Amino acid sequence: MSVQKKTDVKVITTHQLQNMKERGEKISMLTAYDFSMATILDAAGVDVLLVGDSASNVMAGHETTLPITLDQMIYHAQSVVRGVRRAFVVVDLPFGSYQGNSSEALRSTIRIMKESGAHGVKIEGGAEIKESITRILSAGVPVMGHLGLTPQSIYKFGTYTVRAKEEAEAQKLIEDAQLLQELGCFAIVLEKIPSELAKRVAENLQIPIIGIGAGPHVDGQVLVVHDMLGINKEFKPRFLRRYADLHTIMTEAVQNYVKDVKDRNFPTEKEAY
């Protein structure tokens, strides 16, 4: 029996993601924040959909991921889950929903799981949130870790530049990754770290390592969907590959619509009742 919704499609589970790592099949992951986009991404074969707190940036227009609330994350997650038949859906625990203590972390996770129907949560950090991760896992919820550039700590870092270039930070990241695996996380996202370091982590750990700006030698890749579709023109870090120029396509479509309305070319009699 499937633990996800009844469907004729073979759904993705944490076991399948683990099997993918073991047989060397790369894992594809993208962010999603709404029903329509989730429907397209799921049907196109994306393995994991992340309801990322990057919704704070790309959906709400905030400069950082800090302002988005737990209620807002749950709203996005509910919309995504309704559009999914096959993908594994992971939801970010937003800033302020888990840092207080492990009870708060568990309470926030239970709200996400109960109210959205998602399949797991992602949480930023290593040893410092060990208790929270243990508590969430003990409730039977799959946890994805997130190390390297963790955007919720942007005011500590000061910039969005590459993390763990220095030996001490690289060593801490290796130890944190090992700890997350020992605690029972099913996967880890490594964001914006040197490719060689990511390779070392992926080779030494048994669980899947998903990279964003972490090079090609990891077990899978994640991108923010608005960035890879070229909706967002300004953001162009080296690691980003644009697979479409939707900004131009959408702008031209809307300009054509405006022109047709102004010129009385839309609607025609055929488009009327």
Residues near ligand KIV (CB under 6 A): 31, 50, 52-54, 92, 189, 191, 212, 222, 224
* Residue 202 · residue 217 · CB < 8 Å: yes
Give the separation between CA 98 and CA 87, rounded to whole angstroms: 25
Place of tokens 């500590």: 156
Residue number, 50 or 170, with CB nearest to ligand KIV:
50
Give the separation between CA 127 and CA 30, rounded to whole angstroms: 26
Query: Least CB distance from residue 70 to ligand KIV, whole Å?
Result: 14
Among 231, 182, 183, which Cα is nearest to 204's? Answer: 182
Q: Cis link prior to 267 (omega < 30° from 0)?
A: yes
Residue number, 5 or 236, with CB nearest to ligand KIV:
236
Which residues fall within 8 angstroms of residue 179, CB to CB, at 6 or more apart?
A: 126, 127, 130
Measured from the Cβ of residue 4, the count of other Cβ atoms closer than 10 Å reads 18
DSSP, res 209: E
| Sequence letter at residue 63 | E
Indicate which residue of 131, 169, 191, 271 is catalytic.
Answer: 191
Residue number, 6 or 92, with CB nearest to ligand KIV:
92
Among 27, 19, 16, which Cα is nearest to 220's? Answer: 27
The residue with its CB nearest to ligand KIV is 52
Query: Least CB distance from residue 146 to ligand KIV, whole Å?
Result: 6
Residue number, 83 or 213, with CB nearest to ligand KIV:
213
Query: Least CB distance from residue 138 to ligand KIV, whole Å?
Result: 24
63 assigned to active site: no
Query: Least CB distance from residue 99 to ligand KIV, whole Å?
Result: 16
**CB-count exposure of residue 64 (10 Å: 0-12, 13-18, 19+):** middle
Query: Least CB distance from residue 173 to ligand KIV, whole Å?
Result: 15
Residue number, 41 or 222, with CB nearest to ligand KIV:
222
What are the residue numbers of the active site?
191
